[in-house]
Structure 1
Amino acid sequence: MAPAAASGGSALPSGFRVFASFPDLLFIFEFVFGGLVWILVASSLVPIPLVQGWVMFVSVLCFVATTALLGLYLLGAHGEEASWVGLDAAYHCVAALFYLSASVLEALAAITMQEGFTYRQYHENIAAVVFSYVATLLYVIHAAFSLVRWKSA
């Protein structure tokens, strides 16, 4: 099996080769920044429950799905199946779209907190916005490279 997109191949990596191939290395950063969004939103004051409910849904869903997908890749559950390349591309496209919507809504929630909230509460939400946009960028980059890998498969 080829080591993945890092060497020009179109197959998905398995085992610890996931950590040595791009864009699959981004799983780690998606996991970290998605977890930070989840933690910050969960610990912050909620000015707009519906908006931040969506942000929590997206961050928890993507955190769990990214963890599951990374675990399946580490176990080599995909084998030589070409359909996994399409699944990887589809997942990262949907995750990027979800995170973009969550980032915009979290920014809206933070903007509404400028008046009447403490400095700490406001800055927790600003940190969540920043980490949410970083997670969005990571998912967009991963989606773009997954689509290239899928197209060449």
Structure 2
Amino acid sequence: MANILAPISICTSIFYKTSVPGLLKIGELVLGLICWAIFASTGTFLNHAPAYQFVMFVAVTSWLLTLALSIIYLFGLHASMCSGAPWNIIEFGFNAFWGLFYFIAACVAVAYAGSSSLLVAGTVFAWFTAIVYIVHIAFSFKEWKSAPSSGGAGAGQA
């Protein structure tokens, strides 16, 4: 019972914010927010287009989960609370999953954009966000393969 109630020290990591994974997460958050803000501003069009509902689902869900993962890394919770988890593999899988989904969502958005300037702008930002996730996949893979095989809290450390 004493271990459950033990205090957890939480401090922010300035090094994570300036590392490559940290900067890529910031790029994913900024571009993802712009993407879903543009698609959300199309108004009632989303109610009649299931394709854009999928794009909106991908944009909002990935943004929220990326924000949650960023907070975990920023406050060092991956090292203090879940230090035994294989964070390099988790990070790689997370980026691979959302990179694939953003790629599919961007392809769907291109197919249905038409001549609406809002939809074209949203599609462009969907592609930018997909590219950032794909670049993050490469960095996550490199970090995963270069890390010791013991798992641990290696992800997010520069």
* Shorter-chain TM-score tier: 0.7 to 0.9
Aligned residue pairs: how many? 131
- Partner in structure 2 of residue 6 of structure 1: none
Residues 135-146 of structure 1: pairs in structure 2 closer than 5 A:
135-146=129-140
Q: Aligned partners of 2:122 and 2:84: how far apart in 1?
A: 37
- Name the amino acid aligned to 1:34: G
Aligned partner of 1:16 in structure 2 is 14
Task: Tell me the amino acid that sits aligned with residue 26 of structure 2.
Answer: I
Q: 2:136, 2:85 → 1: CA distance? A: 18
Match of 1:104 in 2: 107
* Runs of 5+ consecutive residues of structure 1 not aligned to the other structure: 1-13, 115-121
The list of structure 1 runs, each at least 4 consecutive aligned residues, that deviate by more than 3 angstroms after superposition, is none
Q: What SS class does the counterpart of residue 22 from structure 2 fall into?
A: coil
Identical counterparts, % of pairs: 32
Counterpart among 25, 28, 38 of residue 26 in structure 2: 28
| Alpha-carbon distance between aligned partners in 2 of 1:15 and 1:105, rounded to the nearest angstrom | 37
Whether 1:125 and 2:119 are equivalent positions in the alignment is yes
The answer to whether structure 1 residue 37 and structure 2 residue 74 are counterparts is: no
| CA–CA separation in structure 1 for the residues paired with 2:138 and 2:84 | 20
**Structure 2: unaligned runs, 5 residues or longer:** 1-11, 148-158
Q: Which residue of 1 aligns with 2:90?
A: 87
Please report the RMSD computed on the Cα atoms of aligned residues, expressed in angstroms.
1.5
Distance in 1 separating the partners of 2:88 and 2:100: 19
Query: Offset of 1:82 from its aligned partner?
Result: 5.5
Q: What TM-score does the superposition give when structure 2 sets the normalisation length?
A: 0.78
The equivalent position to 1:134 in structure 2, one of 108, 116, 128, is: 128
TM-score w.r.t. the length of structure 1 is: 0.80
